[in-house]
Amino acid sequence: DVKVTQSSRYLVKRTGEKVFLECVQDMDHENMFWYRQDPGLGLRLIYFSYDVKMKEKGDIPEGYSVSREKKERFSLILESASTNQTSMYLCASSLTATNEKLFFGSGTQLSVL
Amino acid sequence: DQQVKQNSPSLSAQEGRISILNCDYTNSMFDYFLWYKKYPAEGPTFLISISSIKDKNEDGRFTVFLNKSAKHLSLHIVPSQPGDSAVYFCAASAPIGETSGSRLTFGEGTQLTVNP
């Protein structure tokens, strides 16, 4: 089975801090994604990557950046955390660019105070 | 602009009966549709999908119906079980380029509660 591992289950940060959310997948998937889940808004795509060192903006990239130095690892960076970035963050991967079936991690609940 | 909408935030059903979850979309470029299920404290997991060339796909107790003219899809669960209680997300896919492949747009989710 594919495993997508997010480094933290819960995080509490202060406004203005730089925050790193890490995600690792173990099945050699090409595509990796970062979503945030908010009540009443569903899952919204922040950034995705279809290859090492490649990245594409999703629907809500403002305030975020990403890094993909290795195929298995995709990091989400909040340069200066704000309270409106309090959310559940979900990392996902898929085998190929045209394989829409995503495998998700368990999520990181981030609270920015 | 919400391209994929699940108008019911919550739904209740009785064990053994049918549960029907609905989803509407607006983008005519969507060509592949999926349902994901999410339990608390877990990530969403893939449940069932359907291509736009079909109007029905069945997998055990789960059936997805697609009505392209109405831009509507539905998930039927028969018979419903208490373990089906979860949030269900509808998602739709449109191609975005040869190298970038496709990407999913998700609905808001519907919380299904199946009562014993």
pLDDT tens sequence across A71-109: 999 999 999 999 999 999 999 999 876 667 899 999 999
Q: Which of B104, B105, B110, B111 to mutate to test the interface with A (most CBs of A within 10 A)?
A: B104
Give the chain B residue nearest A40 (alpha carbons).
B108
What is the structure's pLDDT at B102? 67
Question: pLDDT tens digit string along B30-72?
Answer: 989 999 999 998 999 999 999 999 999 999 999 999 999 999 9
Confidence label for B2 from pLDDT (cuts 50, 70 and 90): confident
Question: Which of B95, B101, B109 has the CB atom closest to A42's CB atom?
Answer: B109
Residue B92 near residue B2 (C-beta atoms within 8 A):
no
Say which residue, A27 or B90, is predicted with more confidence: B90
Residue found under tokens 């730089």 = A18
Q: Is the pLDDT of residue A54 over 90?
A: no
Residue B103 confidence (pLDDT): 78
Residue contact A42–B6, C-beta within 8 A:
yes
* A104 vs B contacts (CB less than 8 Å): 43-45
Q: Tens of pLDDT along B74-93?
A: 999 999 999 999 999 999 98
Contacts of B91 in chain A (CB under 8 A): 43, 100
Note the pLDDT of residue A7: 87
CB contact under 8 A, B41 and A106: yes
Which residue of chain A has the CA closest to B106? Answer: A43
Backbone Cα Rg of chain A:
13
Interface test with B, best of A41, A43, A99 (most B CBs within 10 A): A43
- CB distance A50 to A31 below 8 Å: yes
Q: Of B97 and A65, which is predicted with more confidence?
A: A65
